[in-house]
Amino acid sequence: MGQASLASVQIGKPQSLGSDGATDPFDAAWTSGIFKNTVAGSVRISSAGVEGDAQADLAVHGGPDKAICAYSANHYPGWRRTLGLTPFEHGAFGENFTIGGLTEDDVCIGDTWEIGGALIQVSQPRQPCWKLARKWRIKTLTDLVVKSGQTGWYFRVLQEGVVSAGMTFTLVDRPNPRWTISAANNVMHHSKADREAAAALAAVPLLSASWHESLTRRIGSGFP
């Protein structure tokens, strides 16, 4: 793991797109906050998220455990080659923070990081939904992201602060070094029959409530 820095910050408000009665499913009416624009200058972050940002479906997005969506800048060159999309710039995955020098192998559940006077804590991997595929009009994109393991992750905000592109991240605490984002993704998506691993991940105190509940339901209902 090298020096981690905030490559860019993105925010956006929910947009309503498409139209009712469209023959192409990609053109049907939908609402999403996945479209983000890069912030020029500094922006405040709090337990409510990044100032100026909002989500459309609050049942599955946003909230204290998902205050900030982060994605690794390291992955962008590979995705541009794989998808053949240009431009395909930071914020393409709907993330708030695009971070250089960190990937899913370098970040652990419960990590506390300091940036711009703020303290932020890793809560769970991101689980990309159908809206990512819809945004780019690539039906298989959500599955490709999950299979790649390059999902990104979420932060909760423990202490407010002001951030801007170019700032560096400092690791303050790492209570769960076993549980990288990659390891958690493997349990959730690729090793669904491993009851012991699911129980161990569900028992991590700083795991988000939604992942804890999902894993607990899985264990209770049997495997896979």
Mean pLDDT score, 141-168? 98
179 lies in a domain?
no
What's the domain range around 108?
A: 5-174
Classify residue 189: in a domain, yes or no.
no
Give the count of domains, the chain: 1
**Is pLDDT at 22 greater than 70 in this prediction?**
yes
- CATH number of the domain that residue 12 is part of: 2.40.33.20
**Does position 140 have pLDDT exceeding 70, yes or no?**
yes
Mean pLDDT of 190-215: 93
Residue 223 has pLDDT above 90, yes or no: no
DSSP-H helix ranges across 5-97: 76-83
The answer to whether residue 125 sits within a structural domain is yes
15 in a domain, yes or no?
yes
* Residue 17 placed within a domain: yes
- Asked if residue 210 belongs to a domain, the reply is no
d(CA 179, CA 157): 20
Q: Is 208 part of any domain?
A: no
Residue 84 falls in which region: left (phi positive, over 0), alpha (psi -120 to 50) or beta: left
Res. 58: pLDDT tops 80: no
Confidence of residue 214 (pLDDT cuts 50, 70, 90): very high
Place of tokens 């994109």: 141
| 170, part of any domain | yes
